[in-house]
Amino acid sequence: MAVVIIGTLGFRFLSSNIIPQDFIDARIQGAIIAQNIVGLSNQSVNDLGKINQLDQQGNYVEATNVVLETIQKSKDIRNQAVELSNQVSKMTAALSGINSFEARQAALEAISNRLALIGRLINYSDYLAQLLQALQTKFAGQRGNHNVETIINQINAEVTAINSFNGQSTQAMNRFDAIVNGR
């Protein structure tokens, strides 16, 4: 289970005067934030593996400690998603300054997919927090239905959606770059 968000830092604009600087800056900041999200998501996935291993070993105290650390990472993912949303909002505000209709449409498509991705990323973070809470309860020895399997299925569905929206956004930004660079 891995969340992949690709931010394009290696783009170049032959005619940067046709793209507003606010758009360029927000795109770069968004790419940096996306990398942070990828890092946090990958750490969370690794933590889930470690939690599972500790659970198998019956080391519930250490598993609980890892759960608590991972809960914080889940909150960080959510906060980064909100910050990414702010950058996408800046890109949206700068759209009217893009002279080419085709480039503006490609950018709008990328932004729309990025917004859908952000919503799914927030859902992912919420489901991850629910899973971690259920695991924490389990490790504390509290009985009951912890719904771990159901939550994992929801997380996997969000990951699939995130990756799909990311792919669509990346394709649209690649079209944008091609249009702007005259390729």
Q: In CATH, which of 1.20.120, 2.60.40, 1.25.40, 3.40.50 is domain 19-180?
A: 1.20.120
Radius of gyration from C-alpha coordinates of the chain: 19
Q: What is the pTM of this model?
A: 0.79
Please check whether residue 77 is in contact with residue 124, taking contact to mean a CB–CB distance below 8 angstroms: yes
pLDDT tens digit sequence for 9-24: 444 443 455 899 999 9
pLDDT tens digit sequence for 120-142: 889 988 998 888 888 888 888 88
Ordered by start, the domain boundaries in the chain are: 19-180
pLDDT, tens digit only, all 183 positions of the chain:
555 555 444 444 434 558 999 999 999 998 888 888 878 888 888 888 898 899 889 998 999 999 889 888 888 988 999 999 999 999 999 999 999 999 999 999 999 999 998 998 899 889 988 888 888 888 888 876 667 888 888 888 888 888 888 889 989 999 999 999 886
CA distance 112 to 92: 9
